[in-house]
Amino acid sequence: MSWEANVRKVTPYVAGEQPKGQGVIKLNTNESPYPPAPGVARVLREYDAAMLRKYPDSETEPLRSELAAYYGVEREQVFVGVGSDDVLAMAFLTFFNHPSLPVLFPDITYSFYDVWAELFRIPYQVQALDEQFHIKEEDYRKPNGGVIIPNPNAPTGELAPVSMFERILRANPDVVVIVDEAYIDFGGESCLKLIDQYENLLVVRTFSKSRALAGIRIGYAFGSKKLIRYLQDAKYSFNSYTMNSITLTAGVEAVRDDSYFREITDKVIATRERSKKELAALGFSFTDSKSNFIFAAHEKYRAKELFDALRAHHIYVRHWDKPRIENYLRISIGTDAEMNTLFAFLKEYIGA
Ligand code: PMP
């Protein structure tokens, strides 16, 4: 018997590459191409390091109240974590606790869901999207131990209507339904309005994309007070002080500066819509993304070939060697200048 027999073995999530060096065009991890709100830089500059002597607020204040006020909910309906990955991991641990019934999520989706399910020994069953990469809502009407769906979905960028989630919620009163809204700020309609009506709905969001703060690690969630209480209880049983005080202070500034938030999300949306036209002219087809990326396949060129050619020219996009999506590239929306470099390269490579 080796000690290794007792090890919890996991196949970890593989994040997008973080290439070092200058001159790289990084369109592979859905980060914002713009800096965070100017107030964030100011509070970081002015932060009194002497404050770090003390533990941070275990209730994640002042960020929790700021988010509650901004979104018009009560603070007891808000949970804050270290990126939405932390919030989602905690939610899997807390809510997906059925001994045998599987948690349901799409076959093409955020590739961390099955990793958490494996890590926590949660049974799960993937539900195939249809040929157009739409969610088949009837798949979420069978007995299950919970449901998680991103909206817009990733990496497809497909937005499902709130009415679909309402029907899924009505069909699933006995389990927790999680809507992962990592990309909702780029033109989607949120399920947030449903939290007072459905006690079992958790809506998860992040500062990593639309608030341009992937590096600081802030995720948050909305739900009924009861649901959020359960999540807090699990968090306090794991690590009471997940959010550091610098992050809690800086995050507040990102929420307060609403006009900057709107400005950068509008810019990403405008560049995305222009990019759709450019990519279509180059022979790509794609879903009608409502996120900060486009999931595109070319009519003649294999995705892997394009991925390698782009990478050799220091343009990084994302490619998965997985069934059904191996011929797609996920291209994050960069600045207009970055996208122009991408289109110019593709034009030359493809000869369009
Ligand atoms: N959900 C989805 C659907 C994502 O694509 C991502 C980004 N990788 C996350 C959650 C996690 O983002 P973060 O931990 O940076 O908030």
For 42-55, the pLDDT digits (tens) are 999 999 999 999 99
User: Does 21 have pLDDT greater than 90?
Assistant: no
The whole-chain average pLDDT of the chain stands at 97
User: Does 18 have pLDDT greater than 90?
Assistant: no
Residue extent(s) of CATH 3.40.640.10 domains in the chain: 38-256
User: Does 231 have pLDDT greater than 80?
Assistant: yes
Residues 192-212 pLDDT 10s = 999 999 999 999 999 999 999
User: Does 100 have pLDDT greater than 90?
Assistant: yes
Predicted local confidence at residue 23, as pLDDT? 87
107 and 126 in contact (C-beta within 8 Å)?
Answer: yes
Residues 87/90/92/93 CA torsion (nearest 10 deg): 180
Instruction: Look up residue 236 and give its two tokens.
Output: 């306090």
- Write out 183-199 in H/E/C secondary structure: CHHHCCCCCHHHCCCCC
Is the CB–ligand 1 distance for residue 208 below 6 Å?
yes
- Cα 219 to Cα 43, 72, 191, 243, distances in angstroms: 19, 18, 16, 10
104 and 127 in contact (C-beta within 8 Å)?
Answer: yes
Cα–Cα–Cα angle for 343, 348, 349, rounded to 5 degrees: 95
Ligand 1 mean position, distance from CA 32 (Å): 13
Is the CB–ligand 1 distance for residue 150 below 6 Å?
yes
Is the CB–ligand 1 distance for residue 301 below 6 Å?
no
Residue extent(s) of CATH 3.90.1150.10 domains in the chain: 15-36+259-350
Residues 181-195 pLDDT 10s = 999 999 999 999 999
CA distance 37 to 182: 18
Is the CB–ligand 1 distance for residue 156 below 6 Å?
no
Predicted local confidence at residue 147, as pLDDT? 98
Is the CB–ligand 1 distance for residue 152 below 6 Å?
no
Predicted local confidence at residue 352, as pLDDT? 66
Instruction: Look up residue 224 and give its two tokens.
Output: 């009924």
CATH for the stretch 38-256 = 3.40.640.10
Burial-class residue 62 by CB neighbours within 10 Å (0-12, 13-18, 19+). middle
pLDDT, average across residues 118-144: 97
User: Does 124 have pLDDT greater than 90?
Assistant: yes
Ligand 1 mean position, distance from CA 243 (Å): 17
131 and 178 in contact (C-beta within 8 Å)?
Answer: no
Instruction: Look up residue 275 and give its two tokens.
Output: 């990019």
15-36+259-350: what fold?
Aspartate Aminotransferase, domain 1 (3.90.1150)
